[in-house]
Amino acid sequence: MKILFLNTLHSHYLKNTLYIGLKKILGEDLDIFPYPNIDNDSFTVKYDEKSFLDWKGIKEKIDSDYYDYIILECINQHTAKYVKYVLKNNHKRKNIIVVDFGDFPYIKKIILNKKVIAYFKREKLMDNLKAHIYLKKHLPGILHYNCNILSKCLSEPFILNELYISPSNIFKSKKLRPIPLGVINLEEYCPWLRNIKKKEKEYDVSFIATPNTKERKIIFDVLKELEKEYDVKCYTNKGSLKFEEYLKIISLSKISINTYGYGVDTFRYYEVPYLNTMLLTKKPIIEIPNNFIDRKSAVFYNNVSEVKNLILHYLENDKWKKIAKEGNTHVNKYFVDEKLAKYLLNIVEGELNE
């Protein structure tokens, strides 16, 4: 199987995770353009002039129908002309896969293109009713946040990236599939993690987050109360940590808390169990394939008022240990880079070709 991964210049953890997973499976049969330089310390993607030098060779492969599938990340001003070329000159009837990494749950109009066989959506809400409720509540903020993008959407070629509130016929479309953030198999890049994960836990609970929502502020207050009244050892950080320190803190915690940020799907949701720590998280309202099982491989809460008692319950008699172990098994089975790539390929090669 030969695949072209046509990406934007935007650095995104899921893109890195998916690209790394696909590279492990496909090797030289995977081309990526523009070519990214992945920083192994921060897992961010960097681009320079060399990143665009291969377009002539990529273009020749597109013209000769070399690729079985072409993966498109939703376009931006840097790569729009390349996406437009693919849509116009790729002669295969249906072989385009869109992977939408956006924090918000809207669906983009490129899903309507006849050459698109699949549209993988991070933040895909569980049902159409939830989608309409969410968008009605949050759309003014989303539109404000994306005002610059929207202004560009009014003219070609950005019309392909225009916001599209999903009606029932799109929401139920066979093309539309969920995709989780997943996690890079960090031990391959940070071998020191193996030793850290074996150490005794130093903290009962950790919470690393910017206090930019009401719920996050409440959680910080809850942890202060637990430290003062119940002698629970907590680690909190409201600023930024170096990635290495961030991983160490979570790995040295018995329980680590996750709640929504700009989107529902967060990095911590997968990193916490990967690091052998119990995930205590707000119950997702999005569709996550092969999701963790509540009270088995993670612990979900519906209301922030539950957090205090859940922490005390799972610290008692080290109940957190079983959840952490099951969570680690689960994340390695379904969410590490290669498994995430296999999830995408299995759907494209299997269900969508039936």
Residue in 96, 100, 69, 64 with CA at minimum distance from that of residue 83: 96
* Measured CA distances, 173 to 120, 166, 168, 247, 282 (Å): 12, 10, 8, 38, 28
Count, in order, helices (H) and strands (E) of the chain. Answer: 13, 15
**Could you check whether the bond before residue 34 is cis, i.e. omega within 30 degrees of 0?**
yes
Predicted confidence (pLDDT) per residue in 188-230, tens digit: 888 899 999 889 999 999 999 988 888 999 999 999 999 999 9
State the pLDDT at residue 98.
92
Long-range Cβ pairs for the range 159-162 (8 Å, 24+): 159/109, 160/75, 160/83, 160/84, 160/87, 160/108, 160/109, 160/110, 160/113, 161/74, 161/75, 161/76, 161/108, 161/109, 161/110, 162/108, 162/109
pLDDT tens by residue, 241-295: 888 899 999 999 999 999 987 678 888 999 999 999 999 999 988 899 999 999 9
3-class SS of residue 323: helix
Structure tokens at 150: 């929207």
Instruction: Return the number of other C-beta atoms located less than 10 Å from residue 157's C-beta.
Output: 16
Higher-confidence position of 39 and 180: 180
What is the reported pLDDT for 347? 93
Domain with CATH 3.40.50.2000 in the chain: 186-334
Q: Given this model, what pLDDT does residue 77 score? A: 67
238 has a pLDDT exceeding 80: yes
SS3 108: strand
Q: How far is the CA of 42 from the CAs of 6, 37, 272, in angstroms?
A: 22, 12, 17
Q: Give the CA angle between residues 339, 97, 333 to the nearest 5°.
A: 10
Quote the tokens at residue 18: 């998916």
Each residue's pLDDT tens digit, 66-113: 999 999 876 666 677 888 888 888 777 679 999 988 777 777 778 888
- Which tens digits make up the pLDDT trace of 37-68? 666 665 566 666 666 778 889 999 999 989 99
Q: Which CATH superfamily is domain 186-334 in?
A: Glycogen Phosphorylase B; (3.40.50.2000)
Residue in the structure block whose two tokens are 């081309």: 31
What's the pTM value of the predicted model, to 2 decimals?
A: 0.87
Q: 121-164: per-residue pLDDT in tens?
A: 988 877 655 655 665 565 544 444 443 333 333 333 333 445 55
